[in-house]
Amino acid sequence: MGLGGRTLRDLLREDEERQADADAKAARRCGRHGTRKGKPAAGASSDAPSRGAAAAAASEPPRPLTGDPHARIAIVGGGAAGLASAVAAGRELAAAGRAGTAGVVVFEADERVGRSMLATGNGRCNFSNASIEAGRYRNAGFVGEALVSLIAGFSAARDLGDPVHRFFSDLGMLSREEGEGRLYPATGKASTVVDVLRAAAAGLGVVEACGRRVTRIEVPREEGGLFHLRFADGSIEHAAAVVLAVGGKHAACEGRPQPKRRGKAPFRSDAPAADGAASCDVRHGAAALLPDRYGAVPLHPVLGPLAADDPLRALDNIRVRANVWLASKEGGDARLSAVLLDPSLDPAGWRVADEAQRAWARDHGVSDYAYAPSPAQMCGVPCGGLKAIERGEVLFRSYGVSGICLFNLSRFAEPGDVLLIDFLPQVRACDAESFLFARRKRLCASDTALAGAHAAPLTAEAFLRGMLLPQVARAVLGHAGLEPDAPFGKADVPALARALKAFPLTVEGIGDERQCQVLRGGLAVEAFDPRTMESRLDAGLFAAGEALDVDAPCGGYNLHWAWASGLLAGRTAARLVAGWIDAGSAPRGASRSEALGAAEATEASAARRIAEAAEAAEAPAVRTPASGDQPPRAAGGEGGPHA
């Protein structure tokens, strides 16, 4: 199972050779189909392998793995969760003295592992966040238990830092923090993250089996049996434990047509799908690799731009800083979800929360806590209650709106919901009219002072000059029913205030699925133990990362979950395999209990050491919110604006 003395440099050279072969094949195809009278294509090598040799190489079956499959951990997927799992498993086996008798292999469908990470964060890889909270995730209770288990299992009394951050620090990677706690490698290159992971895996003897797509995982039929992994080329491999770490975008919709245009695809996969939409049924993605008894949530794209039924095409490519509110469609509950409110986001008419909610807010350092009334009072648009709030840059597109704040809102949006754009975020809604009255008075006085009795009447367009871009000003005036060249009177202030503070756009769907960063859905978390990531149905089967129904907003949270769940899965898988090796021919169930007994005792001891060290240092203990540490929420809501 070892690498035969190969280093990371050897692996990178092999990647370059594989890429060179692929480029040569592409050049030969261009030479056959895209050049005149047999002239060689530009860049084609004269000493390139012949067509027959290339065909023979393409049809060559994969080399079988060496080593005992009873001592093998198979990781399906060489992305973020898969590589973290491989390193964690390799370290655990080495610590148990089993590095020579047990091994780890990563099966990756692509030509190299880690390729999906190279494009994250615009090529810089926002690999985590300085402030990780379980409440920001979908299925927050499951995530909270997993993060607590990770802290207990990987922390020491002398070190209270985040285990994921320390993991990368131990690999030698320096990081830097940017706005909103986003963490990037200090080099500013995503390739740095991939390099340190691959170097660590290579040093631990992890085998990379690239170009091998798993199509089915068959669980053991009897205790002590092996997992059977079936591949697209017809080959079969075996393993004692399997970590399923395939990414949603990589595994989902296999063989389905991709959208040919910027569609307005429905959000829910159970809604009628448009032709070419990337919505997938429940058995696609990671769930398609497992037996049907594993429940799964249908996949659909989120963290992407939103399409509107009446987009502002005149504003295409215009950027503004704004607050954006997402309100439920008509007929929604005015208390659809609870939100934590900042006074600067306070619109007119917020109802005061009850004393229990106010006490929760005080305990958690929040200035106030309340439910939102219907935004129809502000904008006259028929809609229900507030679902989420985001602030940041809004990018108008011909099909709708984009930007990080809209990406985050796409996690909660449904067709028919209403986006309310606040073009005046520095002014509270309850103060908007008085602000506009004061501005009108000041501008009229200035014009009179300059031109005297000959001053021209103040027009609506002139009133907004210097406050909004001209294109945005015309759109706002149009919604308010005001003519740009008409005099702007006192009676026009209320309509303009509503248009500025709650400019409505009706959501129709995802604006461009190709920009979506995450596929929501995957394996139901109820089938897995959050403390270990192991299946509750089949011992030795684990899931991590996007394979599970977990997602979060932008900012490094999704990659953090990939690392955290991968570390848990790899560590526990290695402990199980090492325990089975020690137990010899003992039944699978008994050896599993023996393997995990010591691990659980160690984690409990570590948790006690963490609490004691924090108390001794008079510092608050590291706390990750779990399912029981959440704000009161209305029935049917998934969470607050960062759930």
Q: Is 494's pLDDT higher than 50?
A: yes
Contact 496, 379 (CB under 8 A): no
Strand partners, 393: 321
- 42: exposed, middle or buried (C-beta count within 10 Å: 0-12, 13-18, 19+)? exposed
Q: Is 568's pLDDT higher than 70?
A: yes
Same domain, 526 and 601: yes
Return the CA Rg of the chain.
28
Same domain, 84 and 105: yes
What are residue 225's phi and psi, to 5 degrees?
Answer: -80, 180
pLDDT of amino acid 468 = 96
Q: Which of 453, 488, 513 is the last residue of a domain?
A: 513
- 2: exposed, middle or buried (C-beta count within 10 Å: 0-12, 13-18, 19+)? middle
**What is the torsional sign of CA 600, 605, 607, 610?**
negative
Residue 8 lies in a domain: no
Tokens found for residue 391: 């602030």
Mean pLDDT of 199-213: 95
The distance between the two most distant Cα atoms of the chain, rounded to a whole number of Å, is 103
Mean pLDDT of 288-304: 92
Residue 330 lies in domain? 306-428+507-513
pLDDT of amino acid 64 = 63
Mean pLDDT of 151-175: 82
pLDDT confidence band for 590 (50 / 70 / 90): very low
Q: What does the DSSP assignment read for 410-465?
A: TTT--TT-EEEEES-TTS-GGGHHHHHHHHHHHHHHHHHHHHGGGPPPPBHHHHHB
Residue 206 lies in a domain: yes
Task: Name which residue leads in pLDDT, 37 or 417.
Answer: 417
Residue 60 lies in a domain: no
Count of C-beta atoms within a 10 Å radius of residue 320: 18
Same domain, 449 and 536: no
Listed as own residue / partner, the contacts of 50-54 with beta carbons closer than 8 Å and 24 or more positions apart are 54/24, 54/25, 54/28
pLDDT confidence band for 257 (50 / 70 / 90): very low
pLDDT of amino acid 429 = 82
Domain count along the chain:
3
Same domain, 126 and 254: yes
pLDDT confidence band for 3 (50 / 70 / 90): very low
Same domain, 156 and 257: yes
DSSP secondary structure letter of residue 258? P
Residue 13 lies in a domain: no
* Residue linked to tokens 């597109």: 397
Mean pLDDT of 150-166: 76
Same domain, 370 and 280: no
pLDDT confidence band for 265 (50 / 70 / 90): very low
Q: Is 247's pLDDT higher than 80?
A: no
Instruction: Express each pLDDT in 528-541 by its tens digit.
Output: 999 999 999 999 99
Same domain, 86 and 225: yes
pLDDT confidence band for 398 (50 / 70 / 90): very high
Distance CA 37, CA 195 (A): 44
Tokens found for residue 500: 């500025």
pLDDT of amino acid 16 = 63
| Residue 402 identity (one-letter amino acid) | S
What are residue 405's phi and psi, to 5 degrees?
Answer: -65, -35
pLDDT confidence band for 376 (50 / 70 / 90): very low
Share above pLDDT 90 across residues of the chain, in percent, rounded to a whole number = 51
Tokens found for residue 179: 């706005």
Same domain, 475 and 565: no
pLDDT of amino acid 388 = 85
Contact 82, 114 (CB under 8 A): no
pLDDT, the chain, mean = 76
Residue 349 lies in a domain: yes
Residue 28 lies in a domain: no
Instruction: Express each pLDDT in 442-460 by its tens digit.
Output: 998 886 666 665 567 899 9
Residue 636 lies in a domain: no
Q: How many Cα neighbours within 13 Å face the side chain of 483?
A: 3
Task: Name which residue leads in pLDDT, 515 or 362.
Answer: 515
pLDDT confidence band for 13 (50 / 70 / 90): low
pLDDT of amino acid 389 = 87
**What is the torsional sign of CA 377, 381, 383, 385?**
negative
Same domain, 310 and 365: yes
Q: Is 205's pLDDT higher than 70?
A: yes
Residue 10 lies in a domain: no
Q: Lowest mean pLDDT: which of 12-16, 81-85, 197-201, 274-278? A: 274-278
Q: What does the DSSP assignment read for 376-398?
A: HHHH------EEEEEEEEEEEET
Instruction: Express each pLDDT in 231-245 by its tens digit.
Output: 999 999 999 999 999
Q: Is 585's pLDDT higher than 70?
A: no
Mean pLDDT of 313-332: 84
Same domain, 108 and 183: yes
Q: Which of 484, 513, 542 is the last residue of a domain?
A: 513
Instruction: Express each pLDDT in 53-103 by its tens digit.
Output: 434 444 455 666 767 898 999 999 999 999 999 999 999 999 989 888 889
Task: Name which residue leads in pLDDT, 158 or 239.
Answer: 239
Mean pLDDT of 568-591: 75
Same domain, 579 and 526: yes
Q: Is 277's pLDDT higher than 60?
A: no
pLDDT of amino acid 148 = 93
Distance CA 384, CA 327 (A): 6
CATH number at residue 113: 3.50.50.60
Same domain, 143 and 272: yes
